[in-house]
Structure formats: structure tokens, C-alpha cells
Amino acid sequence: MRLAPRVPYKETIHIKCKVGWIKARCEDLSLFGIKFRYINGESCEHHEWVKLKLRINNRSTVFRGRIYRKEDKRAVVLFNEEDRTLSDLLGGFFTETIKRSGKCPYCKARISPESLDCPNCHMPLDFTRVDLIQALRRIKVGDIIAGKLPEEVRGKVCEEKTDFIGSCKKMREVFDLIRRFASTDYPVLILGETGTGKELTAKAIHERSIRKDGPFLAINCGAIPKELLEAELFGYEKGAFTGADRKRAGKIELADGGTLFLDEIGDLPFPLQVKLLRFLEDYTFDRIGGNRSQKADVRIIAATNKDIEELVREGRFREDLYYRLKVLSIKLPPLREREDDIVLMAKYFLEKFKREQGRDIEGFTDDAMELIKNYAWPGNVRELINVIKKAVVMTDKRFIDSGDLDINSSFVSKNVSGKRLFDLKEHMERLERELVEKAFRITGGNVSRMSSMLGVSRPTVYKLIEKYGLI
Ligand SMILES: Nc1ncnc2c1ncn2[C@@H]1O[C@H](COP(=O)(O)OP(=O)(O)OP(=O)(O)O)[C@@H](O)[C@H]1O
Ligand SMILES: [Mg+2]
């Protein structure tokens, strides 16, 4: 997203679209577009090309642009004008309005009417310069101002947002990365076990980024059949395949101006990995059956709960794509490694659900609290939420007891259920099975290669193959 300064502009504007001329009330004017609310019940179509009539310095001025629908009654138009036209039509108006406001539009520091640059963040403020308009249109936010902005405007801290909870050291580090990454426009890779909050993290980055007014779309690469995934991502032209009776935009196109969250990226089929890499290189893509490349201004955030480095080593995930994605990456800790956060969250969700369900529950018994602390939470935060929600529904008591918590007792540590959480033998065996299975897959069951790969003798390989029922 671009560094477009905004100025207040609460005027009525006229828009020429398919329906004819319609009226709207402007909410926000930036150098590159305008945000408004329709007022007479009429509206334009999403992605429609339109003309806009605005009064700038008491002169009626016409801009061409494209509609991006936000809500029923709200939309933005991104101007489709040359840099020179924008600086001629809007440059003087922006420079004057911003100077009159006395505040830098980027960092909100005080500026004097003579300032050509902001004394605090050093951004140039003379918008009549075509070279500045050109630069602002091409440079991404993270390239030039990340790190230079004063702390207080670098984005709100995550902890302040409701429902994203964490106070342990590992989560504070995660929140710090979210804030840092939100101020750039590069792809992000989020890693973590199931239910650790990967999607929540992606949304938090989007909401704190300059794209926050654009769409946030998600697609689960593992849940959509391979044959449909390409159409879902890139869209298709009419007649591209049997049944394609009209053209359809893919998620990449629909996320224009916003963020696309690619969940379970490890499941993205190889040919689509190539296409995604190309998109990340120059932000162009082709619809299926299309013969003209298109551009989309989309930030990609990808996530996986798989060991992606392992997928790369096994040749199932492209190394070049992995290196492109992993530049900014966040590893979410499993819930069992979040110290007191488990208790904090348990109490938070109890409050939330008892209020939602109008239940008069006072808290957890000591036993229940012990269980909550000692359980390994293999399904992480999602599991914690579900267990507490169910307990609130099912209990008849004023305190939730350990019996009300519907959890898998084999994941509870010794002091609660008598079983060991860190049973070494059990864990070693699982690890052994995983490694043997992997070696078997990679070598296609070749015993000599497995023996050198695993560093054990051939007879041992035979024994292991038999032990784990691989043939
Ligand atoms: N730190 C947190 N504070 C509060 N709620 C959280 C937190 N982390 C996750 N959640 C909640 O837990 C649920 C699961 O989170 P999310 O869907 O983001 O996990 P995920 O890592 O994407 O899981 P999966 O790998 O299964 O797709 C969601 O309801 C989310 O809002
Ligand atoms: Mg998810």
C-alpha cells in the first residue's frame, strides 16, 4: 500500500457510473483516492470504472477512477490519473490544507507553515512536486519509514485489542513482531501448531497495516481440491474449461488493495507454487484461460502447521518460494509453553462465555485449575476455548470442576491423572516411527539407502520396517 497522505474533505461529490450521475458524501480524500458514503440509495458496482466530480479550491474538477466497494453504503475510488495530473489537480490543495492543519500527515508531529519536510519523520510535504507523487505511488510504506516513526504511532499494541490475549515473554515477542511487520508491506510466514492463533495473527497484522481499510481474504490451500484451487486463487475467463460459462475473479484479484491469507501453504500443489512465486516477484498473474497478465496490489500472509523446512528437504515445497516467504516469519508458541497465559485465558474465556450464556458461575475449583495448568493442550487455544465453552454449558455448579472439563486425559501430566506428560519412551518411539517412515518414503523403501540415511545396520532397518508395518 502506498503512503498516501489524507486530508479531511466532507463535501458532496458526484459520480458518473452505469446508473448515471449519483451523489455521495465524501469521508476522506487522499492523493490517490477518495472514500465516500452513498446518500440517495443508489450505488456503483464493485470494480466499475467511473468519473468523479469534486470541488477543489472552488473549482469543479473531474477525476477518473475505479470503484472498490467496502460495505453496502460505502466505497472508495482509486484514481486512475497520471502523476502529473494528480500533482496539478490536488498537489496545491493538499500542501495548503496540511500546512494549515499544522500536523504532519504521517507522524502527526507539529509542522510550521514554511516546512518543506516534516522535522520529525523527514517526509517531504510539498505535494506539487511530480517527483514526490511518483515516489509515493511506487514506494511501499515499509521501505522508507518503518523504524523512523515515533513509537506512539507505530501501531496500537496488540494487547490492547480485545480477544488477542498474551502476557508471557514469548507472546510479547510475537506482539512486537506483529507491530513491526504491520508497518512493512512484505509477505509474512506464520508458523505454529494447530489452534495457536495463526489466522488471528494474520488478521492482527492486516488490521495494523496501511491496508486495514482494504479486504482481508483467507483461503485454505489444504481444504480445497487441487483442481479447484487454481481457479479459486487466480480466477478464470469465460470458456476456460467446461462449465466456465462466465468469467470469475479469483481471491488474488478480490483482495486487491488488501491482504490475502494463504492458510496451510504447505499443501499448495507444486505448479501453483510456481505461480505464487511469480506473483510475489512482480504482482502479476493470469486468470485460467486468459491471455493477458493482470496486476493486483495484494499483501500475502501465509501460514502452516507443518514442518515447512522438512517439506523443502523432501522436495515437496519449492525452496525459492520458501526463502521468499520466510524473510518475515513468526513462530507461535504452543499454549503449553505460554506460562501463566493458560490461566489468564481460561479465566478470560470463562468470563466471556458465562456472560454470553447468562450463567452464574463464580470460577474454577482448585482441581480444575490444576488440570488446566497440567494439561498439554494439543489443540492449543482453540481447544481451550472449546473446553471452557462446553464446561459453561454443561455444569450445574457454581464452580467449574475438573469433571466438567472434557479433555483427553492421555495428555495430562502425572500429578493429575497418574500418567506422565513427558514419557520419554513414548516420545522416543514416536520420533523413531516418524524418522523411519520418512526415510522409507524418501528412498522408496530402499534398505541400503535407508540404512545410511538412518545410520543403522541393514538388519536393523529390516526390523524397523517390520516393527512399524511399512510393508
Ligand atoms: N492469543 C489468543 N488470544 C485469544 N484467542 C486466541 C488466541 N490465539 C488463538 N485464539 C483463538 O483460537 C482460535 C483458533 O485460532 P486460529 O484459527 O487463529 O488458529 P490457527 O493457528 O489458524 O489454527 P489451525 O492451524 O487449526 O488453522 C480462534 O478462535 C482464535 O480467535
Ligand atoms: Mg488457521
pLDDT tens by residue, 281-327: 999 999 999 888 999 999 999 999 999 999 999 999 999 999 999 98
Hey, how many other C-beta atoms are within 10 angstroms of the C-beta on 158? 24
Q: 194 in ligand 1 pocket by Cβ < 6 Å? A: yes
Report the range out of 27-31, 174-178, 257-261, 291-295 with the highest average pLDDT. Answer: 257-261
Res 151 pLDDT > 50: no
Q: 388 in ligand 1 pocket by Cβ < 6 Å? A: no
User: In this structure, what C-alpha cell is assigned to residue 140?
Assistant: 511501499
Q: Is residue 151 part of a domain?
A: no
Does the model's pTM come out above 0.75? no
Q: Are strands 329-331 and 216-220 parallel, antiparallel or unpaired?
A: unpaired
Domain with 258, as residue range(s), is 158-331
Give residue 422's pLDDT: 60
Going by alpha carbons, the residue nearest to atom 26 of ligand 1 is 194
Which numbered ligand comes closest to the C-alpha of 191?
Answer: 1
Sorted by sequence, the CB contacts under 8 Å of residue 32 that are 6+ apart come out as 2, 4, 78, 79, 86, 136, 137
Fill in the DSSP letter of residue 224: S
Sorted by sequence, the CB contacts under 8 Å of residue 188 that are 6+ apart come out as 181, 202, 205, 300, 301, 302, 325, 328, 329, 330
End of a domain among 144, 174, 192?
144
Q: Is residue 228 part of a domain?
A: yes
Q: Is residue 152 part of a domain?
A: no
Spatial CA neighbour of 306 closest among 256, 263, 274: 263
User: In this structure, what C-alpha cell is assigned to residue 304?
Assistant: 502452516
Are residues 251 and 178 both part of a single domain?
A: yes
Q: Is residue 196 part of a domain?
A: yes
End of a domain among 114, 144, 174?
144
Substitution site in 190, 196, 216 for ligand 1 pocket (most atoms within 8 Å of beta carbon)? 196
Q: Is residue 150 part of a domain?
A: no
Tell me: the pLDDT tens digits for 335-379? Answer: 999 988 899 899 989 999 998 999 999 999 999 999 999 899 999
Which of ligand 1's atoms lies nearest the C-alpha of 163? 4
Q: How many domains does the chain have?
A: 4
User: Of the ranges 165-169, 202-206, 320-324, which one carries the lowest mean pLDDT score?
Assistant: 165-169
Give percent above pLDDT 70 in the chain: 89
CA of 199 to the centre of ligand 1 (A): 6
Helices (H), 283-340: 308-313, 319-325
Specify the 3-state DSSP secondary structure of 166. Answer: coil
Give residue 37's pLDDT: 93
Give residue 58's pLDDT: 86
Are residues 317 and 407 both part of a single domain?
A: no
Sorted by sequence, the CB contacts under 8 Å of residue 452 that are 6+ apart come out as none
Going by alpha carbons, the residue nearest to atom 13 of ligand 1 is 382
Q: Are strands 74-79 and 33-38 parallel, antiparallel or unpaired?
A: antiparallel
What type of residue is 332?
A: L
Are residues 272 and 303 both part of a single domain?
A: yes
Give residue 108's pLDDT: 74
Say which residue the cell 479550491 belongs to. 57
Which numbered ligand comes closest to the C-alpha of 195?
Answer: 1
CA distance 194 to 209: 25
Are residues 174 and 318 both part of a single domain?
A: yes
Say which residue the cell 485454505 belongs to. 220
Q: 215 in ligand 1 pocket by Cβ < 6 Å? A: no
Are residues 207 and 316 both part of a single domain?
A: yes
172 versus 244: which is more confidently predicted?
172
Res 150 pLDDT > 50: no
The chain-wide mean pLDDT, for the chain, equals: 85
Q: 200 in ligand 1 pocket by Cβ < 6 Å? A: yes
Instruction: Identify the CATH number of the domain in which residue 132 sits.
Output: 2.40.10.220
Helix axes 458-467, 424-443, angle to 10 degrees: 110
Q: 163 in ligand 1 pocket by Cβ < 6 Å? A: yes
Are residues 392 and 451 both part of a single domain?
A: no
Q: 297 in ligand 1 pocket by Cβ < 6 Å? A: no
Are residues 248 and 376 both part of a single domain?
A: no
User: Of the ranges 26-30, 120-124, 132-136, 259-263, which one carries the lowest mean pLDDT score?
Assistant: 120-124
CA of 431 to the centre of ligand 2 (A): 25
Are residues 309 and 444 both part of a single domain?
A: no
Which of ligand 1's atoms lies nearest the C-alpha of 194? 25
Res 263 pLDDT > 80: yes
Q: Is residue 153 part of a domain?
A: no
Are residues 21 and 98 both part of a single domain?
A: yes
Instruction: Identify the CATH number of the domain in which residue 363 sits.
Output: 1.10.8.60
User: In this structure, what C-alpha cell is assigned to residue 64?
Assistant: 477518473
Which numbered ligand comes closest to the C-alpha of 171?
Answer: 1
Q: What angle do CA 282, 260, 313 make, to 5 degrees?
A: 75
Tell me: the pLDDT tens digits for 415-431? Answer: 444 445 566 777 788 78
Give percent above pLDDT 90 in the chain: 53
Say how far residue 248 (Cα) sits from the centre of its chain. 23
Which numbered ligand comes closest to the C-alpha of 194?
Answer: 1
Are residues 11 and 62 both part of a single domain?
A: yes
Residue 144 binned pLDDT confidence (cut-offs 50, 70, 90): very low
Are residues 110 and 139 both part of a single domain?
A: yes
CA distance 205 to 158: 9
Give residue 412's pLDDT: 65
CA of 188 to the centre of ligand 2 (A): 15
Q: Is residue 66 part of a domain?
A: yes
Tell me: the pLDDT tens digits for 84-114? Answer: 899 899 999 999 999 999 988 876 778 888 8
